[in-house]
Structure 1
Amino acid sequence: METKKPDIVNEPEAEYGMYSYADYLTWQFDEVVELIRGKIFKKAAAAPKRIHQKVSGELSFRLSGFLKGKKCEVYTAPFDVRFPKKSKDDRKIHDVVQPDICVICDPEKLDDRGCIGAPDLIVEILSPGNSETELRHKFRLYESQGVKEYWIIHPENQNLLIYTLVEGKYQTTRLLTSGDIVESMAISGFKLDLEDFFKDID
C-alpha cells in the first residue's frame, strides 16, 4: 500500500504537528524536508547556491582537519539529526533536522541513520530557501535540546552570528565579520580567521 505524501505547510503559529520520524522515513519528497515539533518544514526551494556550497565545503574541511585524531566527528548535509524527548522510538521522535554542518563529540549519539541527541556544534548557512520561520523554530529547538553552539553564516554578506548555550539559554555574539577571529566554545581550540576564511569565497 502506497504511503500518502503529506503537504508541506510552514505554519509559524502551529504549536505541534502530527508527524514522527517513523513517518519521515516513508516519504519521498523532491526537496529536503525537516520535522520540527512534528511539523514539516521545507529546507530549501532549490539546490543551494555555489557560494553556499563553497562555505560549507571550506568550513567542514577546516573542522575535519582540526579534529583529526580527536573523538569529535564532522558531518555535512544530508545527515539526519534526531532529537528524542523521552523515548528513542521512531514513532515518538518529532524533531528531525538536517543541519548544513554538525560536530558530534559523543560517539554514543551516532548510529547508522545519523545522530540521535544534540550535536555539540551546529552550523546553518543561509540561502534564499531559508525562512525566518525555519530559523526561529530551529533556534528554539537547538536551545531547548542543549546544542552547545549554533552558528548562522551569511555567505554573501560574509558575516557570522554565534549562539552559545549558557545555563540553558543562548547568548549571542555581535555580528562577526572580516577582521574578526572566531573562537569556538564548544570545540575547544578551534579558531576561524574570518578575513582568511572568506577571502577566496565569492
Structure 2
Amino acid sequence: MENLAYAEPPVTELIEGKVYLMSPRPKMGHNFTASNIFNSFRNYLKGKPCKAIADGSDVFLDNKNRYVPDVMIVCDRSKIQRDGVHGAPDLVVEVLSPSTMTNDRGAKMRNYAAAGVKEYWLVLPVGKTVEVYLNHDGRFELEATYTEYDAWELEHMEDDERAAVCTEIPVSIYEGFRVPLVDVFDDIDDFT
C-alpha cells in the first residue's frame, strides 16, 4: 500500500482556462536535456541581470494561463515572486514529450507569443533537434532549426551540407550568447 504522506500533489497547468494534469514524470533523456540547457543558461548569465530558472516554477501569464516550462530566462527580476514568475519570461524552453507536444506547439506557444515572450525553444531529445522561434508582433516565427549530427551522418554529407551545419544556437537576448548543441544533448544517448 502506498504511503500517501509521501505522495506529491499533482502538477497542473492552466491552459486557456482549462486545468491539465502534467504528464507522468519525464524520462531521463528529457530531464538531462532540460538540465543541460539550464546549466548553459545559468553559467552564461552569472553576474548579469537576467536569471535562468529551471523546471518546476510556475509562469502566470494571465488569469487563464499558468504554465510550468522546462527552462526559462527572466530579465525583469520584479516578475520573479515567491510563487513563480508573473508575466512573460524573455525566453522559454519546452522539451517536447508525446503527451505535451500538442499544447507546447499550439495553445501555449500562441499564448507565450501574445504575452510577449521574445524567444521560444522547442527541443526534441530523440532527434537532437532544437527549433528556435522569435516573436514578431505577437506571434512566433521559426528562426532556425538546429540539429546535432553524429560522426557518421557528418561523414556522409556533401561538403557544402557539412559546411552549413550550425553547431551553436545563438540566444537573442544577449549579443554573443551562444549555446553549443553538444552541450544541449550531452550524455543523453542512453536515455532517449
TM over 0.5: yes
Confirm or deny that 1:81 pairs with 2:59: yes
1:70-122 Cα distance to aligned partner (Å, 9 max, x none): 111111121010013xxxxxxxx121000000110001111111110000000
The alignment of Structure 1 onto Structure 2 pairs a total of residues equal to 166
- Report if the CA contact (8 A) 1:41-1:134 is conserved: no
List structure 1 runs of 4+ shifted beyond 4 angstroms: none
Cα shift at 1:199: 4.7
Q: CA contact under 8 A between 2:45 and 2:51: conserved in structure 1?
A: yes
TM score, norm. by length of structure 2: 0.79
Matched, 1:198 2:185: yes
**How far did 1:167 drift?**
2.7
The letter of the residue matching 2:65 is D
CA contact (8 A) 1:177 1:195 kept: no
Q: Offset at 1:30?
A: 4.6
1:70 and 2:40 aligned: no
How much is the aligned-residue C-alpha RMSD, in angstroms? 1.9
Any idea what the Cα deviations from partners look like across 1:156-199, whole Å, max 9, x if unmatched?
11001111012322120343102422101134432122145425
Q: Which runs of 5+ in 2 are unaligned?
A: 1-6, 149-164
Structure-1-length-normalised TM-score: 0.76
Task: Identify the residue that residue 109 of structure 2 maps to in structure 1.
Answer: 139
Matched, 1:35 2:4: no
CA distance in 2, matches of 1:165, 1:29: 36
Q: Report the alpha carbon displacement of residue 54 of structure 1 after superposing the two structures with TM.
A: 0.6
Contact 1:72–1:105 (8 Å) recurs in 2:
yes
Q: Whose strand proportion is higher, 1 or 2?
A: 2
1:79 counterpart SS class: coil
Answer yes or no: is the 8 Å Cα contact 2:115–2:138 preserved in 1: no
Aligned identity (percent) is 32
Q: Distance in 2 between matches of 1:39 and 1:64?
A: 32
Is the helix fraction higher in 1 or 2?
Answer: 2
